[in-house]
Amino acid sequence: MYLDYFGLKEAPFRITPNTGYWHAGGQRGEMLAALLYAIGQGEGIIKVVGEIGSGKTMLCRKLAAQLPVSVDSAYLGNPTLGADDMLAAILADLGETPASGRQARLAQLNTVLLARHEAGRRVVVFVEEAQGIALDNLEFLRLLTNLETASDKLLQIVLFGQPELDTLLADSRIRQLKDRITLTLRLPPLVESEVAAYLRARLAVAGYRGPDLFPPALVARITHLSGGLSRRINVLADKTLLAAYASQTHNLTPAHLDAAAGDADMQPRAGARPGLRRWAWLAAGLAAALGLLAFVAWHALMQPL
């Protein structure tokens, strides 16, 4: 509705993840690089944790799009799937017609993975909404990583989930899965300067070429209301532009943002103080970075002289 009015070729703040709008700010670019490196090593299970609307699906899709040509991927997006259906979904994504029954599908998957390994290819499975997967099915996924040759794992798994995933993995019944996790990354909320860059970047992709639409006061308010979460930022930005269009002005004001927040029924998230919460996320990110460096050092030591 407001596209022509603001000189846009398409809607800049849709909440559907579109890798054309990938933005590397807020540590996303560094995380993508770390994930690509870890997948390149082909060892262990990888875990990515983030709040609802923090950009996990966008990161997952960008990661899948950036994989080396020698890496094939499968995707599990339904946490309610049982073990048999997980196998069927993985096989289907790999271009295979699933056999009937779990044992037959396991044997089929092993055969497929061995063939791809012999052809110099590897396979990674992306699992979204992992916090909703039953313990038995998480354990089944771990068992799939036991498929291997004498020297290489045949399957790698990347888990994407909300913070509840950490609670789930603390259960002693799946401690072996937790022990297989070699890299953990946490998506931090965006701080005010990153929200400003995020808004500018999405508008630019959508074709906007004018001066900043969102003044600093509105960026600060959006950051506060959204808690730094990209999905909430998108909703607020979209509705603010719509409110300005309805007022037939190109100058976005606090009144437009207030109307947007009211329409979205959006109030500041409980305890949402991005500037302070950021320290906790940065600490987690530092721990992840140190873990990755240790992983790199270990891998280098294991190489033959």
DSSP per residue, 126-155: EE-SGGGS-HHHHHHHHHHTT-B-SS-BSE
Average pLDDT of the segment spanning 10-35: 96
> Which domains are seen in the chain, by residue range?
1-25+191-296 (1.10.8), 28-187 (3.40.50.300)
pLDDT number for residue 305: 39
* Whether pLDDT at 37 is above 50: yes
Confidence of residue 280 (pLDDT cuts 50, 70, 90): very low
pLDDT tens for each residue of 127-149: 999 999 999 999 999 999 999 98
Largest CA distance in the chain: 70
15 vs 41: CA distance, rounded Å: 33
pLDDT number for residue 269: 59
* Whether pLDDT at 304 is above 60: no
199 vs 236: CA distance, rounded Å: 11
* Whether pLDDT at 103 is above 50: yes
pTM assigned to the model:
0.86
Burial label for 167, CB within 10 Å (0-12, 13-18, 19+), is exposed
Q: Where are the beta strands (DSSP E) in the chain?
A: 45-49, 71-76, 122-127, 155-161, 181-186
- Check: CB of residue 291 under 8 Å from CB of residue 183: yes
Through-space distance between the first and last CA atoms of the chain, rounded to whole angstroms: 63
Confidence of residue 270 (pLDDT cuts 50, 70, 90): low
DSSP lists the bridge partners of residue 122 as 71
* Whether pLDDT at 296 is above 70: no
Q: Which two tokens stand for residue 300?
A: 């280098």
- Check: CB of residue 49 under 8 Å from CB of residue 59: no
Phi-psi label, residue 228: left if phi above 0, alpha if psi -120 to 50, beta otherwise = left
